[in-house]
């Protein structure tokens, strides 16, 4: 059983996440970020994502948010009472408020961006990008074909690590070996890519004939609803901030 939301065209999910982010980026205040976050948390249960998966995938956002908040607490624009000052660090009323706003904002922008992408399948996304958004098909399909090689590269990377141990140079630090391994991975990747290009060209890819699509990428009611929902959350958040006088435009 697939959840209806997982069948929504990925470009609509992507569009919704980007529209929402575009609204929230404009201001730094705890009202807009908090409002958006509440609406998002209310909506997520209806997207058919299992709790375990949700927390696992969004964990980095929950970690990043307080850390970004701390940075702003220490280095945010100061105003009001200054509580502590040392070298470049200044903790003040202003930076406290900004830190809270920043924390909520990171979560409010980050969560939907991650959650909406959880159910995205690369093939469906490529179909949508090329057919709905009309991005050049040669590039979209080239990227899609290359994406399939991720598993092979991950495997290559493992073997490169094992091979370094086998060659007697595995005792040095892991970080120090990275440049060499990156280089070897690139050689292998480019070799594979060149072969893949031959295989694709041999099947008429990039030729003069206008391409057809075996499967149509649809953009219908559900897709429009998804887009509008994303935009609505952003607009409501902005309205709340403006209405309560908390709107704080990022520039100036």
Q: Cβ distance 184 to 157 under 8 Å?
A: no
| Placement of tokens 């990039």 in the chain | 206
User: In degrees, to the nearest 5, what angle opens at C-alpha 96 toward C-alphas 92 and 98?
Assistant: 115
Q: Report in angstroms how near the CB of residue 15 gets to other proteins at its nearest.
A: 9
Q: Of 3 and 77, which has the nearer Cβ to other proteins? A: 77
**Cα separation of 66 and 36, whole Å?**
17
| Count of CA atoms in the C-beta half-sphere (13 A) of 106 | 20
Q: Which residue, 173, 252, 229, 236, is CA-closest to 19? A: 229
Q: Report in angstroms how near the CB of residue 6 gets to other proteins at its nearest.
A: 14
**Cα separation of 158 and 152, whole Å?**
10
**Cα separation of 245 and 252, whole Å?**
16
Q: Of 7 and 148, which has the nearer Cβ to other proteins? A: 148
Q: Report in angstroms how near the CB of residue 51 gets to other proteins at its nearest.
A: 17
Q: Of 163 and 225, which has the nearer Cβ to other proteins? A: 163
Q: Of 105 and 240, which has the nearer Cβ to other proteins? A: 105
Q: Report in angstroms how near the CB of residue 157 gets to other proteins at its nearest.
A: 6
Q: Of 192 and 222, which has the nearer Cβ to other proteins? A: 192
Q: Report in angstroms how near the CB of residue 55 gets to other proteins at its nearest.
A: 13
């Amino acid at each position: 059983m697939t959840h209806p939301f997982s069948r929504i065209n990925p470009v609509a999910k992507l569009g919704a996440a980007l529209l929402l982010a575009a609204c929230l980026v404009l201001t730094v205040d705890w009202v807009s970020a908090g409002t958006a976050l509440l609406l998002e948390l209310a909506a997520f249960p209806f997207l058919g994502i299992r709790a375990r998966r949700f927390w696992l995938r969004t964990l980095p956002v929950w970690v990043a948010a307080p850390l970004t908040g701390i940075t702003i607490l220490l280095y945010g624009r100061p105003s009001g009472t200054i509580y502590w000052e040392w070298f470049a660090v200044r903790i003040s009323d202003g930076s406290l408020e900004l830190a809270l706003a920043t924390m909520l904002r990171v979560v409010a922008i980050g969560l939907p961006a991650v959650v909406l992408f959880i159910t995205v399948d690369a093939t469906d996304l490529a179909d949508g990008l090329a057919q709905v958004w009309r991005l050049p098909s040669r590039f979209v399909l080239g990227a899609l074909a290359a994406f399939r090689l991720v598993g092979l590269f991950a495997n290559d990377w493992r073997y490169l690590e094992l091979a370094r141990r086998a060659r007697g140079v595995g005792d040095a630090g892991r970080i120090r070996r990275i440049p060499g391994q990156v280089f070897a991975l690139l050689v292998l990747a480019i070799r594979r890519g060149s072969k893949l290009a031959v295989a694709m060209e041999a099947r008429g890819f990039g030729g003069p004939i206008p391409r057809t699509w075996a499967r149509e990428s649809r953009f219908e009611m559900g897709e429009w609803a998804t887009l509008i929902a994303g935009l609505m959350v952003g607009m409501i958040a902005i309205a709340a901030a403006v209405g309560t006088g908390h709107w704080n435009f990022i520039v100036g």
